[in-house]
Amino acid sequence: MDFALNEQQEMMQTLARDFLTGEYSDKVLRAMAADEKGYTPELWKKMAEMNLLGLNIPGEYGGVGDFLDLIVVLEEMGRVCFISPFFSTVVLGASAIVEAGSDEQKQKYLPGIAEGKTIVTLALTEESAKYTPDAIQAKATPQGDDFVINGIKLFVTDAQVADYLICAAKTRETDNPDNSITLFIVDINTHGISCKPLKTISGDKQAEVTFENVKVSGDNVLGDIDKGWAYVEKILRKANTARCAEMVGLGQQALNLTLDYAKERVAFGHPIGAFQSIQHRCADMLIDVEGSRFATYQAAWRINEGLPAAREVAIAKAWVSQACRRVMHSAHQVHGAIGFTEDHILHFYTKKARAGEFSFGDVNYHLEKLATL
């Protein structure tokens, strides 16, 4: 396969880089990390006007581009340590609706996402923080043509600003948990839903969402009843690849910051970049970033082409997680004490990379998954 970007992808890369460079400075990053919402309506509107919120949504529902275009943009977002509901809405929410929704549901929700009018997130993980069907303990009990949902979801990204939650709940008891999960799209303002913000290290916004006798219509079921886990696996493959793209961007920017610092910082009469030990660290960082990029785009290409991608996604997430950790460690070693201060920007990248490593399954989870394949 050809790893070079095509003309459209190069245009998306340039568009996203120019936009984020102009709109998302280090000052804005600090403000969004401290902000309860994690985004501004003004910036969200500009992203919608540039069609960034419609990426990987089919054209008939107001979207543009494909999954590879989205990956290119996410890498650029990683470069600026972007905090916003973009990932939860475009990668998680829109992907769930595209994969599992009926045409009527797609017509109802996807245009609003593309236009920046609707924010959607995925309510999946619970107390165990595992990404397996047996970990889903929230229950949806049939009540006539409706369902009543009870349970607690943890680490729900951007729930505090979402309009809709896509909730995975158990709809029957069976020895095969793969055939017991159903997806529901639920209005966040439905009676019985409460949202409690959780503190995070990386500035991203997560919440504990409680469903207490939440009544939803049968029309709110996404996909087939009891067959929701097959959709979740597709969503997780996209989510893991998208997270890898973000981490590639984080690693690339950490490398750029490190190179700049190594050229400027003088010790013993020379820039520290002149010393071989520093050069070796920077070379290793470059190898890790480039290797991560290739692994990520291999997985993304297979998903985009509709090919089996479980193996490639597991390889990418396991490798990128470890490589990005090494890159951040080396970046701090080269920066020395200044890199550990709150005044320097590097700690944001380190924290976000660390959080990314554990989202949607850590290294061991994906290595075990790879072993079973």
pLDDT tens digit sequence for 301-339: 999 999 999 999 999 999 999 999 999 999 999 999 999
Structural domains counted in the chain: 3
Q: Is the domain of 102 the same as that of 44?
A: yes
Asked whether 284 and 276 are in contact (CB, 8 A), the reply is no
Residue 142: both structure tokens together: 């049939």
Q: 119, 134, 156 — which closes off a domain?
A: 119
Q: Is the domain of 265 the same as that of 297?
A: yes
Residue 182 sits in which domain range?
121-225
Q: Is the domain of 111 the same as that of 133?
A: no
What pTM was computed for the model?
0.96
Whether residue 2 is contained in a domain is answered as no
- Per-residue pLDDT, averaged over 150-177, amounts to 96
- Per-residue pLDDT, averaged over 8-27, amounts to 95
Q: What is the 8-class DSSP label of residue 64?
A: B
The CATH number of the domain holding residue 92 is 1.10.540.10
Q: Is the domain of 261 the same as that of 335?
A: yes
Q: Is the domain of 142 the same as that of 186?
A: yes
Asked whether 169 and 93 are in contact (CB, 8 A), the reply is no
Q: How confident is the model at residue 340 (pLDDT cuts 50, 70, 90)?
A: confident
Whether residue 301 is contained in a domain is answered as yes
d(CA 82, CA 86): 9
pLDDT of res. 1? 59
Asked whether 247 and 295 are in contact (CB, 8 A), the reply is no
Beta-ladder partners of 207 = 156, 197
Whether residue 1 is contained in a domain is answered as no
Whether residue 165 is contained in a domain is answered as yes
81: left (phi over 0), alpha (psi -120 to 50) or beta: left
pLDDT of res. 225? 96
pLDDT of res. 4? 85
Q: Is the domain of 234 the same as that of 173?
A: no
Q: Is the domain of 250 the same as that of 358?
A: yes
pLDDT of res. 209? 98
CA dihedral 328, 333, 334, 340 (to 10 degrees): 80
Q: Is the domain of 151 the same as that of 112?
A: no
At 207-245, the pLDDT tens digits run: 999 999 999 999 999 999 999 999 999 999 999 999 999
Whether residue 283 is contained in a domain is answered as yes
Please state, rounded to an integer, the average pLDDT across all residues of the chain: 96
At 37-87, the pLDDT tens digits run: 999 999 999 999 999 999 999 999 999 999 999 999 999 999 999 999 999
d(CA 154, CA 125): 6
pLDDT for 277 beyond 80? yes
d(CA 234, CA 87): 16
Q: Is the domain of 242 the same as that of 158?
A: no
- The Cβ-side half-sphere exposure at 237, using a 13 Å CA radius, reads 25
